Homo-oligomer: A and B are copies of this chain.
Amino acid sequence: MPFARFDRYVERHAAAYVERLQALCRMPSVAARGTGMRAMAETVEQSMQRIGAGTRSFKIGSGYPIIYGEFGAGSHCYIVYSHYDVQPVGQLTAWSSGPFAAAVRDGKLYARGAANSKGDLVARLAAVEAYQKTFGKLPVCLRFIVEGEDGLGSPSLYQFTAEHPEMLRADGCIWDDGYKDTKERLLLSLGFKGITFLELRAYGARTDLHSKWGGIVPNPAWNLVQALSTIVSPKGVITIDGFSSHVAPIADEDAKSLKQLEIDEAGLKREFKINHWVRGMTGRALTKELIFGPTCTICGIQTGHTEAGAKTVLPGMAVARLDFRLVPDLSPALVVSLLRAHLDARGFEDVEVNEIASAPFVKSSIGSSVARAAIESATEVYGASPIVYPLDPASGPIGAVCGVTLPPTPLVSFGVSYAGSNQHAPDENIRLEDFMQGIKYFGRLIHRLAQIAKDDRRESSTMESFVQFKIEKS
């Protein structure tokens, strides 16, 4: 067991790691509020320097700095992407303890940012430190890129990566979006859907009118409803002209991965309090739709008067927000232009389409070195093979990191949180046991990446066996 010494070291320092995480969680760094951002950025940089990183801080315009830290050396280089800002705390009264108290109760650390993503950042840096203490210098090069604008749509990151593509040339990228599911299985994601978040606006009279005019004054709410009703069928199928022809067929290796995945249908239905899935789907069809189906979701509609009291108005404006989750080969720009043409062709030229935020999909192969290393390193720590999502139904700014260079940098993503982590919600928390496992896992991942780098010349011949890793079924 080459990791016995590593694990002992990690366990001996468990208290110190938790304290480090608590220290970070006690520093508010809510990007949306701008509170404590500079102090947090400096602390992150110092945390990396203290364990031997060469660091740089990149400030783009008036944005929050991106902290860059480099460890180790070797022929192969991997990016570790994370962020140091946290979500707003929301309703303070909904928290059992202060969101920045970082209280530990029943083996869980409660704090805004504990799960998303300070727990991961601290665990990964702890693993690097423990690795250095027990094995010596890292056998691969790790480049940490830690931004501070996750809660703002990562504008600095997009600009940074566009301006410094050379810093993103790497053999793989490791992100920290991921968790253990309700069945305690570690999830690994090899890609993320893209997203385009749009606002549709329809206009009528200059202001809300008395609804007695309803028969003769154009109602933007009706116009918007009619326009929307042409975009998705009553059965929930996206019906935008030409849309489906851009959905790429599912690759063989992904079809193979899909067969080994299964959604906890009964558990999720209980959690969501729903009694059926869209189109009555179940089993394989349901999983396939979740992973490889593009989506078009009405995220919100607002028009007219909807507060208390019977106010009968004819609205002057109607707004809908839609998000599309994009699978290969749908790009945000393509979807916006297809939607525009679709609406125009049906007489809805007057319905505005405004792009609010977008991110491309990212998708990499299960045969990449990061994917293989992540899959192979998991069992020893987690006692079972991880669940591999060829494409995660969620989205993120990861395209800015992986998609800038060509070919795209292979990706794997996972994290120390669990199904009850309440990310973005009150009582965000992680379990300290998951945190410790995360440190041990990341140490093994570093090791395995170095081995794979050594074996690189033999990679093509061994590929097949890597693809056929076993995914535990539920």
Contacts and interface: CB of A to CB of B under 8 A. Distances in A.
B298 A219 contact: yes
A215 B301 contact: no
A211 B299 contact: yes
Contacts of A395: 212
A300 B294 contact: no
Contacts of A281: 216
A299 B312 contact: yes
Nearest to A205: B272
A305 B299 contact: yes
Contact of A323 (B214, B277, B325): B214
Most buried by B among A216, A297, A393: A216
A392 B215 CA distance: 13
Nearest to A319: B306
Contact of A325 (B215, B304, B347, B393): B215
Counting every copy of the chain, the complex holds: 2
A295 interface: yes
A218 B276 contact: yes
A26 interface: no
B301 A303 contact: yes
A227 to B, nearest CB: 9
A225 B298 contact: yes
A272 B316 CA distance: 9
Interface in A339-376: 347, 356-357
A206 to B, nearest CB: 4
A225 B225 CA distance: 6
A234 interface: yes
Interface in A361-404: 392-395
A204 B205 CA distance: 32
A197 B293 contact: no
Contacts of A215: 236, 278, 289-290, 293-295, 325, 393
Given A206-B273, A222-B232, A347-B234, A211 B301 contact: no
Nearest to A279: B216
Contacts of A130: none
A277 B222 contact: no
A56 interface: no
A315 B425 CA distance: 16
A157 to B, nearest CB: 15
Interface centre among A204, A215, A219, A222 (most CB of B within 10 A): A215
Contact of A214 (B209, B272, B318, B325): B325
A462 interface: no
A330 to B, nearest CB: 13
Contact of A306 (B289, B302, B357): B302
Contacts of A302: 301-302, 306
A468 interface: no
Contacts of A274: 204-205, 217-218
B286 A216 contact: yes
A458 to B, nearest CB: 38
Nearest to A292: B215
A313 B298 CA distance: 8
Given A206-B272, A217-B272, A273-B206, A299 B325 contact: no
Interface in A207-235: 209-219, 221-222, 225-226, 228-229, 232, 234
A321 interface: yes
Nearest to A238: B215
Contacts of A295: 211-212, 214-215
Given A206-B273, A301-B304, A301-B306, 8 more contacts: A32-B309, A193-B212, A205-B273, A205-B274, A213-B393, A222-B236, A225-B228, A312-B323
12 contacts: A209-B272, A212-B325, A212-B392, A216-B278, A216-B281, A217-B274, A221-B301, A222-B236, A225-B225, A225-B228, A300-B304, A300-B305
